[in-house]
Amino acid sequence: MKLLVLNGPNLNFIGIREPEIYGKETYNDLCDYIKKYAEANNIEIEIKQSNHEGYLVDFIHQAYFDKVDGIIINPGAYTHTSIALLDAIKSVNIKTIEVHLSDVTKREDFRQVSYLRSACVKSIMGKGFLGYTEAIDYFLNK
């Protein structure tokens, strides 16, 4: 089992940005947490982050050539704007789960739209780091 975890803009700033929303743990803490869980479950996992929409599209395309079994994506603010990411997910036909640290349904109106959601098999939000491991569990049929 090979999974790609993809994090979008400003996620590299968790621990610093709006800790009352995203918590005090850093991006490195998040990566360590995901890697440990993947290791314990014998999964090959790659974690990538970019603040640039086009790079995220490229990473999704690369997942196709790398024969990735599943994508876990936190698209950050691109969730609410990006048709390009929606099209990328549809293009590669790889099962994808959308994850958000915060519960976007309880936040501003502009966060109520997710352009990607219709192409995802599941959306997990408001569970902090746990959302990522819940997404891994989905791919493990746990």
- Neighbour-count burial of 32, counting CB atoms closer than 10 A to its CB (0-12 exposed, 13-18 middle, 19+ buried): middle
Catalytic (active site) residue 80: no
79 counts as binding ligand DQA under rule CB under 6 A: yes
Which 3 state secondary structure label does DSSP give 23? Answer: coil
> Residues 37, 78, 100, 115: which is the catalytic one?
100
49 counts as binding ligand DQA under rule CB under 6 A: no
96 counts as binding ligand DQA under rule CB under 6 A: no
Interface region with ligand DQA, contact rule CB under 6 A, candidates 38-46, 82-90, 95-103, 134-142 = 95-103
Tokens 């395309």 found at: 61
Interface region with ligand DQA, contact rule CB under 6 A, candidates 46-54, 55-63, 84-92, 100-108 = 100-108
- Nearer Cβ to ligand DQA, position 81 or 91? 81
Of the chain, the end-to-end C-alpha distance in Å amounts to 14
- Tell me the CB-side half-sphere exposure of residue 114, using CA atoms within 13 A: 21
Catalytic (active site) residue 22: yes
Which 3 state secondary structure label does DSSP give 110? Answer: helix
74 counts as binding ligand DQA under rule CB under 6 A: yes
Q: Which residues form the catalytic set?
A: 22, 100
